[in-house]
Structure 1
Amino acid sequence: SVSFRLADKRARWWAVAKFSSKAKRGVETVGASYQSSAPSFCSRMVKSVTFEPAFNVVKMSPSATVMTESISGRTNSILKLNMKDPTLTLVHVIDERNTISPEISLPTGKITVNLDSQLDSGSLSCQIDPTEFIQLKWTDQSMSGGKWVVDATLPLEAAGGPIAADVRVRRQFVF
């Protein structure tokens, strides 16, 4: 497939079209983005607003994303509108090492919370679904250049027996 992208020099807008490598398909997806300063009624709280419409021609599926950035630069909102599962996410930078981002599914009201922490030699990511599970991913950079990665999933409800945690440890090597 081939993509064509147009953009302005100030990076306030862009448009893209992706073409299929198959002869009969033609255009697969089209999308655009436009960023503007916030409207005057909310300019004390919001620094910028970005609108990104897209259309998947193959699946006949429209989507749009609306993002805002706070004046402080520490909080963003992301509204993803699509046919499957539209969501609203708030991303807040607690400090230079920690971020929290709750996400709400608009059709179901289901809430998940993501916590990300940068550690001295790695990172810790946690996804919490209060009704189902907690997922953890710990990455530890080793002195030899590789990484140790621990993935753990802990279901929050036992199905008639003991809670079965799934813990996986792996080593990533650098060659």
Structure 2
Amino acid sequence: MGDFDDLLNANADFASDFDLAGFDGVARAGVAMVTCMDSRIDPLGMIGLKPGDAKILRNPGGRVTDQALVALVLGVHLLGVERILVVEHTRCAMASKPEHELHEALTQSAGLDASWMTLGAITDQQQTIRHDLHRVRSHPLIGDRAKVGGFVYDVDSGLLAPVQE
């Protein structure tokens, strides 16, 4: 376990004043966010929330995938979600190159052909967010049960900019 000792030590410190024991998992602030896995993003901090307040779904590019939709449906019906944010961000690797260039870079790094994978390159963030908002709003198990908004997070200023529909 030597490779993880620093993380396990940090976890022990974290657990020493852990205050979510017994929490039921309901989103206390009624919020869910779909955002990118980029390490420059602090999903809770950027909207003034703390652990226990929101459901956070992360993937490359912050896309509303089929699995993200499943999580949002569960959140809306079983976990107190009333507002859903779809948040992409500036300087995103998934929006920096077309799909074929991402495949080439991955193939080169892995030493194996990666062209069979769908990576989800984003060619137009505003349009992609609008598309994902439509996916959420038009889902028969979400519909008007939750408010849905799209945003672009600026990784250099920390500000969210609403996407105009």
Work out which of the two has the higher radius of gyration on C-alpha atoms and give 1 or 2. 1
Structure with the higher strand share, 1 or 2: 1
Bigger relative contact order, structure 1 or 2 (CA pairs below 8 A, ≥6 apart): 2
Structure with the higher helix share, 1 or 2: 2
